[in-house]
Amino acid sequence: MTHGGRLFAAAAARGWDWRDMLDFSANINPLGPSPLVQPAIEAALGRIAHYPDSHPRGLLAALSDVWRVPVESLLLGNGATELIHFLPRVVEGPVTIAVPAFTEFHRVFPQAAAVSVSNPATWPRDGWLIVTRPVNPTGAMPDLLPWLDATRNPVLVDESFLEFTGAASVALRRSNVYVLRSLTKFYALPGLRLGALVGSPDTIGQWSALRDPWAVNTLAAAAGEAAVRDLDHGRRTLELVRAERDRLRAAIPDACPSHANFLCATLTGAASRAAAFLEDRGILIRDCTGWPGVEGSRTIRIAVRTRAENERLIEAWKELS
């Protein structure tokens, strides 16, 4: 299992300038970070000679306001992935992963059982369940509420792409429902590493005591606060993604409907062939071969980018076809 987002490595391997390549393998806001982010980082530079705030008040307040959860329900991390790797320290008992899901869940819980995310009837009613909403890489939006309301076992819901859907979070639906959120995708801050877990204040307080200090650096905290509070940038992002997602899907007939900022397609030929063909033309996509829950070797995932970038992909796709 590998990750997308290998732009710099792919460019270096070919001796290309990374700015000449297009990365459709990583599902990041095509508009990039809010224009308020860089000034916020610059304003925070004078504080980097000091230890960061262990509980970044401004960032926590911004997330609390936008996500509509108490500050006491938020546990910050150095990216959602770092928080996933923290979970084995606090998760007890059997774990089941509703697949497909982010590959890091399989890395930290290698003995986990697997069930289909599209068949809630098979989901366990004891032990931990990990489920993604919207699903990566398909973009589907499973209806979790009936199952959550009918069960009482602990659940972790990965909502890393939720902002692109316009749907409400299931955070705090019940006391042992935990939600993973990311500032990598919608807020376009993958290089700064910011994520959060949302849960009951009692549990979050207990987990906070087990965390390493200074999980969020000063510049990341400043950037995150600025990004989250820029609601206009968020609205522009949703408008662009929805319009360009429709254009891409019309141009790629094999693509499935999606609620997220990416499309999943099952090709007639090998995914590896398509990925190699496009990489030769400076375009990276995600080959989903080997992803638990994704059958066969013909599935790819493509991010939604800007109009000009999508046009370049569409033209290359015509050659591939």
Domains in the chain (CATH in brackets) are 7-33+232-320 (3.90.1150.10), 37-229 (3.40.640.10)
Q: What DSSP state is assigned to residue 50?
A: S
Question: What is the spatial distance between Cα 108 and Cα 110, in angstroms, rounded to a whole number?
Answer: 6
Sign of the torsion angle spanned by Cα atoms 157, 159, 165, 171:
positive
pTM, to two decimals:
0.95
pLDDT of residue 260: 97
pLDDT of residue 143: 93
Question: Quick check: 44 and 219 in contact, CB under 8 A?
Answer: yes
* Three-state DSSP state, 270: coil
pLDDT of residue 1: 56
pLDDT of residue 2: 62
31 Cβ contact partners less than 8 Å away, ≥ 6 residues apart: 188, 233, 236, 237, 240, 306
Question: Quick check: 306 and 30 in contact, CB under 8 A?
Answer: yes
315 Cβ contact partners less than 8 Å away, ≥ 6 residues apart: none
pLDDT of residue 4: 73
pLDDT of residue 226: 98
Q: What is the pLDDT along the chain (321 residues), one digit of tens a residue?
A: 567 778 999 989 999 999 999 999 999 999 999 999 999 999 999 999 999 999 999 999 999 999 999 999 999 999 999 999 999 999 999 999 999 999 999 999 999 999 999 999 999 999 999 999 999 999 999 999 999 999 999 999 999 999 999 999 999 999 999 999 999 999 999 999 999 999 999 999 999 999 989 999 999 999 999 999 999 999 999 999 999 999 999 999 889 999 999 999 999 999 999 999 999 999 999 999 999 999 999 999 999 999 999 999 999 999 987
